[in-house]
Every structure is written in C-alpha cells, then in structure tokens.
Amino acid sequence: MKMTPKLATLLILAALVLLAPFLFPSNFYYRVGALIFVNSIAVTGIVILTGYAGQISLGHAGFAGIGAYACALAPAHFGIHPALAVVLGAAISALLAWLVGRPILRLKGYYLGVATLGLGILISMMLNNERQLTRGPDGIEVPELGLRALLKGWGLDLTNGQFWYYFCGLCMILGAWLALNLHNSPSGRALRALHGSEVAARTVGVDVARMKLQAFVISAVYASVSGSLLALQNKFITPDVAGFMHSIEMVTMAVLGGVGSVLGAIFGAAILTLLPQVLTVFAEYEQLVLGLVMMLVMIFLREGLLPSILRKLRRKGE
Amino acid sequence: MTASRDTQTTLLSVEGLGISFGGLKAVNDVSFAVKPGEIVSVIGPNGAGKTTLFNMISGVYQPGAGRISLSGEEVTGMEPHLLARRGMSRTFQNLQIFQSMSVLENAISGFHLQERGSVLADLLSLPGSRRRAKAAEEGARKLLARVRLAEAADREAGNLSYGSLKRLEIARAMASQPKILLLDEPAAGCNAVETEEIDHLIAEIAASGVAILLVEHDMKMVMRISNHIVVLDHGEKIAEGDPATVSRDPAVIAAYLGAEAQTGGDHA
C-alpha cells in the first residue's frame, strides 16, 4: 500500500501519543500532553477555516466557551449526561456559527474577522456577567465524565492523568483524520480553490458563500469540543476559556506550526502549550512572546515552522 | 458557416448590455449572439471594454443595462456559480490558477459540479465521496492529456510556464462540460509555438460543439479561427461580421489606426 500523506500524518500522531509517555520525567506531563491534544483539536478546526478556506476568525474561543459551559450547565440544570452535553455544546456552537456566518460570509473581505471578534467578546462577557447561571469570573465546577470508571470496570485501570492523556490523544487523532479526509475530498478542494482564487472558484461552479459557511461551522464544532474536553478534564471552568487571548492563541498556534497542514498546526499547538509549562519565565511574558512569535513567523516563515522545515529538508535531499 | 448562422438556435444572446463606472460608460448598448459550435471573437483597441463585457456576461460584474440570455433563459446578473451550472465557463486574462495546488488538483477543481456532494460524506471519507473524487480525477487526467499537460500532473501549478498555465486554465474550464466557453486573451504572452497550440485547441473544442466567445489581441489568430467578429471601441460596438467583412470595415480601420495615431501624437 502506498504511504499517502494522510496515512503518514495519522501514523506520526499515533506514534507520538503512544511513545511520548516513555520520556515523561513525571506524571505531571500526562496533564501537559492532554492540554496539547485539547489545543490541537481547536487548532485543527482553524486549519480547516484558515488553512483550507482562507478565512480568519478572531473569536473562536467563544465556541470553546460554549462547549465548556455546556458541560458545566447542562448536566446540572437538565440532568443530561456530560457526554451528551459535549454534543449539545457542539450543536449550539454549530447553530450559532451558522446564524452569524450566513449573512457575513456573503460579503467579500475581512468581515468575518471583525464579526467573530465581536461574537467572542460577547460570549466572554455573558459568561462573566450572568452570575446566576455561570457564577461569573470565579468559575464553575464540571461533573465527572464517568468514562474512566467505566474502563476500570472493564479491567483497564488508568490514573486520571493517564486517562485524559490517552482519551484527548484519541480525540485529536480522530479530529485530524476528519480534517485530512476533507483536504482531498471534493468539498476540501472547493475550499482550497476559493482560497486560491475566489473568482475562479465561482466560475467552476463553487457556491463560495455556502462553502465558507460550512468551513466556519465545522471549525466552530472543533473549538466547542476542545472547550468541552478542557472543562471535563479540569472538572472546573472559568470564563477565560472564551477570552480574546485564547482566540489569539489558537490562531498563533496554527500560524506558527503551519496553518495549511494539520500536522504543522498540531506542532505549533505543542510548542506553544509546552513552553509556558516548562519555562515558568515564559509564562509571565506569554502575551509578549505570542506577539513576537506571530510577527517573526509572518516575516520569515510565512508557511509556518513545519512546512518551512520540510521544504528545506527536501531541497537538501535533492 | 455564415449561412448556418440563421438556421441554428441562439445559445447566448446579449442585448443592449451596458455598465458605467463612476459616470464613465465602460460598455454601452452592446448586442450580439453566439450559436453552438461557433467561435465569436470580441476585438478592439486597449480599453475598449472587452474584459468588462466578459465580466458582465460571466456574472462577475452586475450589468447596469441590457439583458443576457443563455439557452433562451434570462441570466442577467446571475452569480458565476449558477451560470456554471447552466453551462457557462471561462478563463481569465490575468491567470486565475489555484497556485498552491498541483496541476492535477487544478484540473479536478474544474469538475466541482460533478464531484460535489455532502460535506459530511467528505469528512468521513464515505465510499460515495471517494467514488466522486476518483471519477473527477480520471476525467481530469484525460483533460490534462488533451492539453498536453499529463506529464506535469503532479507538479505544483505555480511552477509551470506561462503557456502551460494558459492551457491548464482552458482544461479546468472545459471540465464542467460547458455549452459556451469564454476565453479572455488565451494567447496573451505566449510565444508563436504556444499560440499555435492554443489555436488548435480552440478549434478542436469548437469542433466538439462547444461555442467559444474569445477576446484576443493576436489579430492573425482571430482572423484565422473566428466565424464571427464583434468590434468594440470606447465601449460601443462599431462593427460586426465575418473576418473578411470586419477587416475591410472603414470604422474598424479608423479605430485601430486612430488609436495608434493618437499615441503617436502624445509622444510628439
């Protein structure tokens, strides 16, 4: 069987998830790994929206907020199982993305960036101010998913850190698989076509507004699921998950690693999640470094780290 | 061919088409018709409004006046992707290639209308989605062979020569199996050999029954392959007819020579 880029990416991801624990100096790193995978899921959605379709969102953390608070609020208020709350959050995010994107994506230009910026801030404000429902900036506890206990019953006894590491790793690989499927499918081709030349895409029959809307809705679902997984593993969530800085973080991770490639974007997510964890100095200057990284990548490595490195290696090989 | 013009049904008809940009009439009251399998050329000095006319017919610009009908159905101001479904396809004067895609992917993109399906099926890579993509790929490879780009299929489109990109655009436009193909300066910037290749390609496409509407500066090519020529100057139609008639038309000669005389005057 021929090794397609899709298969190669999935194998690399699976190998990393399975082999990395052998290098962990302490159990703390299961937690760091799980955070990387959670961010990778959101960033894979950004690859579809920005890398494939060429659209920018500055408010994707808003959808992560919806996913996170769905897991906190739906079980408490409606008695829904947390796993179903993930689905509910994704559905609300998809619906909201559709409602906001439909009028905006008919327009040409950078309206989506501005509209999503507003939407993200709005969601963040709501989570902060609707104290009776969300308990405001102090945050709210999130119920146990219950899957770990279920696995224990089947004889697979994992620590909390291990469980979330492998579970989020699996979700990340699933998300990558979907995004890679899309890349070479008719819909993915249409997205990349309208990114390359909107006018040419329209003349080959691509309904540009509809395709952009689909990409926006799909990427919102990715962000929502990422927020849900973050809330469920922390068992606690604050409105910061929906904050503007989190939105910028998602875009920076994708752009740093390479927004056109799933593996590249995940690479970017890994670097920017890992750095503040291992270098405490970095944490204090995180926003400063984020801005600097973004500027340097845009100037020197416009395709992102991983695609630029691969290109250099290929040149050397020739 | 001239005799059959009247007996065949009209495929594309343009009546009184016009558009203004900030008070300037870029195109004014232009009418003509195209029949199946016919090559109709639009010529005129630089700035005569040829590309603007193309952009109105292909739905990129909204016309300010007049009407366009395709196969008897009014399509004035209709969006390009809806026109594509009704059998209109085009190429661009300034190439509009999907640069980051391979040559093959560019050609496959032309099959969008045949290969598109539910995005959910595409995400899950369901058999139906893979089947549609495979059929489009096979079609694209055939088209690439037809424009002699089969060997370049896996190269990045951005690395091709200008003449090859021109042929790739024609292949992509042909993929949707159009009834009418609009070609905006397909030979511009090409050398003599490349021009001749494109020349043959256009004749071949027309022979297969597809109508061609052509904007081209290479007069030799226009005179050689056109069945019918529409001449524009300052946004208005000044003449129309078969190549022999048009080339003898005093108004046409004046427009072309006048334009040159004027530039000469500016220099003095």
B202: which 2 tokens?
A: 């256009």
- For B106, which residue in chain A has the nearest alpha carbon? A193
**Counted domains in chain B:** 1
Q: What is the distance between the alpha carbons of residues B100 and A195, in angstroms, rounded to a whole number?
A: 10
Examine the pLDDT at B268 and tell me if it is beyond 60: no
Residue B238: CA atoms inside 13 Å, Cβ hemisphere, count? 22
Which of B84, B92, B96 has its CB closest to that of A205?
B84
State the sign of the Cα–Cα–Cα–Cα dihedral B11, B17, B21, B25. positive
CB contact under 8 A, B92 and A200: yes
- Tell me what the mean pLDDT of segment B217-230 comes to: 89
Residue A263 lies in a domain: no
What pLDDT does residue B13 have?
93
The phi, psi pair for B218, rounded to 5°, reads: -75, 95
Tell me how far CA of residue B185 lies from CA of A201, A234, B43, B48, B162, in angstroms.
19, 61, 10, 14, 13
Asked if A119 and A100 touch (Cβ cutoff 8 Å), the reply is: yes
Contact list, B171 vs chain A (CB under 8 Å): none
In this predicted model, what pLDDT tens digit does every residue of A249-287 receive, in sequence order? 999 899 988 888 999 999 999 988 988 777 777 667 777
Asked if B79 and B267 touch (Cβ cutoff 8 Å), the reply is: no
What pLDDT does residue A317 have?
64
Strand segments, DSSP code E, in A45-164 are 140-141
Which of the four pLDDT bands, split at 50, 70 and 90, describes residue B263?
A: very low
Contact list, A213 vs chain B (CB under 8 Å): none
Percent of chain A with pLDDT over 70: 97
Range of the domain at B204: 2-99+179-267
ipTM of the complex, rounded to two decimals: 0.85
CB contact under 8 A, B112 and A193: yes
- The candidate with the shortest Cα–Cα distance to A262, out of A172, A179, A168, is A179
The residue of B88, B91, B109, B120 whose CB has the most chain A CBs within 10 angstroms, and thus the best one to mutate to test that interface, is: B109
Which helix (H) or strand (E) covers residue A289, if one does?
helix A286-300
What Rg value do the Cα atoms of chain B yield, rounded?
19
Amino acid residing at B127: P
Which of the four pLDDT bands, split at 50, 70 and 90, describes residue B258?
A: low
What pLDDT does residue A219 have?
97
- Tell me what the mean pLDDT of segment B190-200 comes to: 87
The domain that contains B249 carries what CATH number? 3.40.50.300
Q: What is the distance between the alpha carbons of residues A153 and A166, in angstroms, rounded to a whole number?
A: 17
- Tell me what the mean pLDDT of segment B62-77 comes to: 92
**Counted domains in chain A:** 1
Average pLDDT of chain B, as a whole number: 88
Residue for token pair 């399509």:
B75
- Residue numbers of chain A with a pLDDT score lower than 50: none
Residue for token pair 């009908």:
B69
- Tell me what the mean pLDDT of segment B146-170 comes to: 90
A289: which 2 tokens?
A: 């470094």
In this predicted model, what pLDDT tens digit does every residue of B86-116 receive, in sequence order? 999 999 988 899 988 999 999 999 999 998 9
Asked if A112 and A58 touch (Cβ cutoff 8 Å), the reply is: no
Give the distance from CA B241 to its chain's centroid. 19
Min distance B90 CA to chain A CA atoms (Å): 7
A193 interfaces chain B, CB cutoff of 8 Å: yes
What pLDDT does residue B5 have?
44
Residue A290 lies in a domain: no
Residue A312 lies in a domain: no
Contact list, A201 vs chain B (CB under 8 Å): 98, 109, 112
- The candidate with the shortest Cα–Cα distance to A55, out of A300, A173, A220, is A220
What pLDDT does residue A318 have?
58
Residue A45 lies in a domain: yes
Q: A28-40: b or e for each residue (b if 16 or more CB lie within 10 Å)?
A: ebbbbbbbbbbbb
Residue A317 lies in a domain: no
- Chains A, B: CB contacts within 8 A come to 107
The residue of B79, B111, B115, B125 whose CB has the most chain A CBs within 10 angstroms, and thus the best one to mutate to test that interface, is: B125
In this predicted model, what pLDDT tens digit does every residue of A210-239 receive, in sequence order? 999 999 999 999 999 999 999 999 999 999
Which of the four pLDDT bands, split at 50, 70 and 90, describes residue B46?
A: confident
Which helix (H) or strand (E) covers residue B34, if one does?
strand B24-34
Q: Is residue B52 helix, strand or coil?
A: helix
Asked if B135 and B114 touch (Cβ cutoff 8 Å), the reply is: yes
Asked if A55 and A212 touch (Cβ cutoff 8 Å), the reply is: yes
Contact list, B84 vs chain A (CB under 8 Å): 202-205
Examine the pLDDT at B8 and tell me if it is beyond 80: no
Strand segments, DSSP code E, in B94-204 are 180-184
Residue B53: CA atoms inside 13 Å, Cβ hemisphere, count? 33
What pLDDT does residue B266 have?
41
What pLDDT does residue B207 have?
92
Could you give the angle at which helices B127-146 and B162-174 cross, rounded to 10 degrees? Answer: 130
Helices (H), A159-243: 160-183, 186-196, 198-203, 208-234
Neighbours of A180 (CB within 10 A): 25
Residue B65 lies in a domain: yes
Residue A259 lies in a domain: no
Examine the pLDDT at B265 and tell me if it is beyond 60: no
DSSP letters of A26-62? STHHHHHHHHHHHHHHHHHHHIIIIIIT----S-HHH
The phi, psi pair for B46, rounded to 5°, reads: -55, 135
Which of the four pLDDT bands, split at 50, 70 and 90, describes residue B24?
A: confident
Measured at the alpha carbon of residue A178, what is the angle toward residues A177 and A181, in degrees to the nearest 5?
85
The residue of A44, A107, A189 whose CB has the most chain B CBs within 10 angstroms, and thus the best one to mutate to test that interface, is: A189
What pLDDT does residue B7 have?
43
Range of the domain at A238: 30-242
Percent of chain B with pLDDT over 90: 57
Percent of chain B with pLDDT over 70: 93
Q: B25-50: b or e for each residue (b if 16 or more CB lie within 10 Å)?
A: bbbbebebbbbbbbbbbbbbbeebbb
A202 interfaces chain B, CB cutoff of 8 Å: yes
Examine the pLDDT at B141 and tell me if it is beyond 80: yes
Residue B200 lies in a domain: yes
